[in-house]
Amino acid sequence: MSSTLVVYLHGFRSSPRSSKAVLTGDAIKALSTLENQIEWYCPQLLASPKASMDMVIQHIEASTHDHLVVIGSSLGGYYTNYLAEKFGCKAVILNPAVRAPKELAPHVGMLTSYDTNEPYDFRPEYIDELKSLQVEVISNPGRYFLIAAKGDELLDWQEMVDFYKGSEHLVLDGGDHGISDYPVHLPKVLNFISR
């Protein structure tokens, strides 16, 4: 009998209610059996990167599991790099922000969350918090599976491919930042996790 903790980290100003998070969670829960139990953890991340990572790390360290997999979308992919390197686990990254401090610097200020329209205060000090989480080079590309859309309107897909050199890639012609055809690619995510 083995157990796996699967952590899903949503993107900037998103939530656990995002379509990719819900689809992935439903599919992961359906794979869980008595012999191979899977715990699904998809928290609402906070505006503060440090507070978000402290919360997730606390959950990971409190969980009893044999295997850990972290999945992250956009900013969640940036966090996934940090956690995968810290814990030496498998990682699935979906259109990740590989240089989040640079990519999010123009967004400092009072914003709203996508799903709820609630205020989202992204403070200048959060850029420094992001810098402290930057992974410059992944240590073991074989632990990573990248899905990158050439049609991503927010992030540079080529930068993603270059950053994850040597890892398993699925580069989509066209597409968008949200990977709107994600259900088509979800079986590949599940296959990578299950190996």
Q: Which domains does the chain have, with CATH numbers?
A: 2-194 (3.40.50.1820)
How far apart CA 144 and CA 98 sit, in angstroms, is 13
What are the tens digits of pLDDT across the range 100-142? 999 999 999 998 888 788 888 999 999 999 999 999 999 999 9
pTM to 2 decimal places: 0.96
Token digits of residue 181: 């055809």
Instruction: Tell me what percent of the residues of the chain surpass a pLDDT of 90.
Output: 88
Q: How far apart are CA 73 and CA 12, in angstroms?
A: 9
Distance CA 77, CA 92 (A): 8
pLDDT at 37 over 90: yes
Q: Say if residues 167 and 191 touch (Cβ distance below 8 Å).
A: no
pLDDT tens digits, one per residue of 43-60: 999 999 999 999 999 999
